[in-house]
Amino acid sequence: MKFYWLCDVASRHFSGWYEATHKWSLPGAHCPKCDAIWSTHVDAYPSVDLSVLPNPEKYAARLEEDYAEFERLREQVRPLVPEGVPLWPGTEFGPLEGAAKGEFSPLVLCYPWTLLMKREAVERLQAEGLAGLKGCRTELRFRKKNPPELLELELSPLGQLHPDCLPEGWPGPCSKCGRSGFSLPEAPILDAASLSRAPDLFRLAGFLSLIIGTERFVEAARRLGYEKDLVFRELPLK
């Protein structure tokens, strides 16, 4: 099986753009072990509703200096998300809220870590029998009649980068907060053993900003004409 990184194009065919954030997020954290102050906003679970929690106002883009309090907030969320997801500082929840304008392609990658699709595109790809396509409603505001219905894909984190492409001497992630602390390698290599049960569309757990599609997904997207504003970059396996 081949795997492809979904990338934006240098020159778009469609004018669509949006500026939005998810309704809730885990706060950023200050790790007492590695002393890193960090937050990632590339992992999101748009189907998860935090209004059911007793203190949803604490789930906002901010820094939580008390790491024990961050852990408490994280554990409150854990029963609401898919089993086994990491829930790093800054993980976002709920629908995208914001403004949108222009004409959108069937598959929308305005930001490398967030994939939107028109509802028809989601349904046609699902009809192809692809796994891992969970479209969630957005709350994007258009200033025009008959705006498109854009869904955000909720992507499961799976898979790792192969050690051969990681920085030499990298000691591994922090044992307390899990922060890796390295930039994306110029030539990413996927660890084949970590992808044995991959769905057809997912987020790479070893580097969450990478959205990965299988050969089956890419072939279906190309056949349906959904490739105009995307580049499918094949990544090597090892």
Residue 74 to residue 77: CA distance in whole angstroms: 5
Structure tokens at 92: 């976002």
* Per-residue pLDDT reduced to its tens digit, 19-53: 999 999 999 999 999 999 999 989 999 999 999 99
Mean pLDDT of the region 220-225:
96
* Per-residue pLDDT reduced to its tens digit, 72-128: 999 999 999 999 899 999 999 999 999 999 999 999 999 999 999 999 999 999 999
pTM: 0.94
pLDDT of residue 24: 97
